[in-house]
Amino acid sequence: MKTRDKIVQASLELFNQHGERTITTNHIAAHLNISPGNLYYHFRNKEDIIRSIFSLYEQHLESGFQPYVDKEVDVDLLVGYFDAMFYTLWQFRFMYANLADILSRDEALKNRYLQAQQDVLARSSNVLIKLTQDGFLKVNETDIAPLADTIKMLVSFWISYKLTQTQSSIGSITKESLYEGLLRVIMIFKAYSTPESAATFERLEEYYTSMASGAETAA
């Protein structure tokens, strides 16, 4: 792995463990056993590193929520979507925990984030449209965009909610607590399920309840 990539991965790991605000470029350099000068050769400052991490975030969003084509709607397909949602939450949890502060410091990054969220909303709406057309959900056409936005909002602020609720630091966020958030998303989906899909959502709920309880280990 190139030094630049090592810096990005180490920064992501440290930010997720300790929070972005508490980690400096010196901490990152020390963690990698390189000189601060070597780090600054690749990145001008911490904000520059965060922008590179955000590029990874954009890639995850783009690849994880594509509408299905020529596939039968089943538990495996929906687990794929929920797991993609979970992975993004877990992999970039530092960002969700301190989003407003991070974006307030970087106008260009804020604009990228807003665009990424618009893209997520469009792709999520398309998935909901397809699930409705296939008889898996019963959603009025006018409700699809607001429903997609509500789910996006729940996911985006779940980590902040958990941290506020427990008055703890980002280090206390566990995979199990994120699966609790996914169960809330499934709860919303269940309200729009059809008789044909009700059993599938029950199986999904059982599966993610076991994940939230730590009965299984997330990939």
Q: What is the chain written as a DSSP string?
A: --HHHHHHHHHHHHHHHH-GGG--HHHHHHHHT--HHHHHHH-SSHHHHHHHHHHHHHHHHHHH-PPP-S----HHHHHHHHHHHHHHHHHTHHHHHTHHHHHHT-HHHHHHHHHHHHHHHHHHHHHHHHHHHTTSB---GGGHHHHHHHHHHHHHHHHHHHHHHHT--GGG--HHHHHHHHHHHHHHHHTTB-TTTHHHHHHHHHHHHHHHTTSS---
- Residue ranges, the chain, pLDDT below 70: 215-219
pLDDT, residue 61, reads 86
Give 44-55 pLDDT, tens digit per residue: 999 999 999 999
> What are 142-193's pLDDT values in tens digits?
999 999 999 989 988 899 898 888 877 888 899 999 999 999 999 999 999 9
Amino acid at 122: A
Contact 119, 61 (CB under 8 A): yes
Which of 63, 66, 55 has the alpha carbon at shortest distance from 125? 66
* pLDDT of the residue at 219: 37
pTM metric for this prediction = 0.85
Cα Rg of the chain (Å, integer): 19
Residue 70 CB coordination number (10 Å) = 4
